[in-house]
Structure 1
Amino acid sequence: MRRGLSFTIPNQYGHFLQDILTPIPIDQYQWKVIDEESYVVKDEQLDWLLFPKSTIINGRQLNERITQHEHYLIFVDIKAFHSNMSSEIVTYEDFLQSTCEFVLLLIDSQYVTIYCKDHEMLNSLYENAFLHEFEEIAYITSHNDSMTRLSCW
């Protein structure tokens, strides 16, 4: 059974969160951003943190942050919920039992891992990664999932 998706993105400035999240109806979710380290790029320099602290934002706010300026992603831990935020999600089993619908983790500026409960959306994310020419695209299954924690740290 498919759990998610992994791929790599270029280690450079861009709008990669916007690109990755294209198939997701961002406005339909509340987004929990945890221990993230990524920067808004201004005048070809890292300027300020994309998300200054761990926070919960609505889809409109997330969309504004990822579309207004280029950014440089280092570590990203974003989780999407339709309604109430459930307790801490540490493992894949926690994810399954929670109200969380989508997890996006990015490590070391390049390595993206996505977990998604909606299989149609997961297929759309796979196709989207292919269209954006991301590399090393692969489905995560129960047989090849090496993540022990759903965290970028």
Structure 2
Amino acid sequence: MIFCAETFYEIVMILRNEGGVLLRRGLSFTIPNQYGHFLQDILTPIPLNQYQWKVIDEESYIVKDGQLDCLLFPKSTVINGRQLNERITQHEHYLIFVDIKAFQPNISSEIITYEDFLHSTCEFVLLVTDSQYVTIYCKDQEMLNSLYENAFLHEFEEIEYITSHNDSMTRLSCW
């Protein structure tokens, strides 16, 4: 585990502000606005095969021969972890908007707000907006810590935990 002074300070401040209860909802950071395997990089700590993945109205492209080709996910769909892994590892991609949610074991109702997320079978939400702004919500605190460390190791920028005090999202959507 990597010790980061800023993370320790942030946790101490949250603990003080929350009366001893750490309310981390997720994580936000930025990725480079370029072609790459960013979904694969972001999702490295996640056991993809343990989930059913719901992809909603995204706009991201497979890159072939240095050019944008077809949509990474042609339509809103539900896929298993193996299918997701194939999609994100076979070709470079260019992310513009991504809305992916992981469910275990069954997909529950639509997730619109953070409260919907909390009361659903959804375990993980990944949103990418404007090609570089990544927002993740995760119920599992250990997995959230792994995602933070992973973002740090991939040298993503502006990495911070999302808490009840700094969460400005009103909808869990990239649109």
Same fold (TM over 0.5): yes
Q: 1:13 is matched with which residue?
A: 35
Question: Take 2:115 and 2:50, find their aligned partners in 1: how far apart are those partners?
Answer: 24
Aligned to 1:63: 85
Is 1:136–2:148 an aligned residue pair?
A: no
User: CA–CA distance in 2 between the matches of 1:121 and 1:83?
Assistant: 17
Q: Greater share of strand residues, 1 or 2?
A: 1
Segments of structure 1 that go 5 or more residues without pairing to the other structure are: none
Which one has more relative contact order, counting CA pairs under 8 Å at least 6 apart? 1
Counterpart position of 1:52: 74
| Stretches of structure 2 lacking an aligned partner (at least 5 in a row) | 1-22
The one of 99, 103, 110 aligned to 1:88: 110
- Residues 50-97 of structure 1 show CA distances to partners (whole Å, capped at 9, x for unaligned) of 000000000000000000000000000000011111111000000000
Quick one: distance in 2 between partners of 1:58 and 1:82? Answer: 11
Aligned pair count reads 153
**Once superposed, what is the RMSD of the aligned Cα atoms?**
0.3
Q: What residue is the counterpart of 2:17 in the other structure?
A: none
In our comparison, the structure showing a higher alpha carbon Rg is 2
* Partner deviation per Cα, 1:88-124 (whole Å, 9 max, x = no partner): 1000000000000000000000000000000000000
In structure 1, distance between residues paired with 2:37 and 2:50: 21
2:131 to 87, 91, 109: 109
1:30 and 2:48 aligned: no
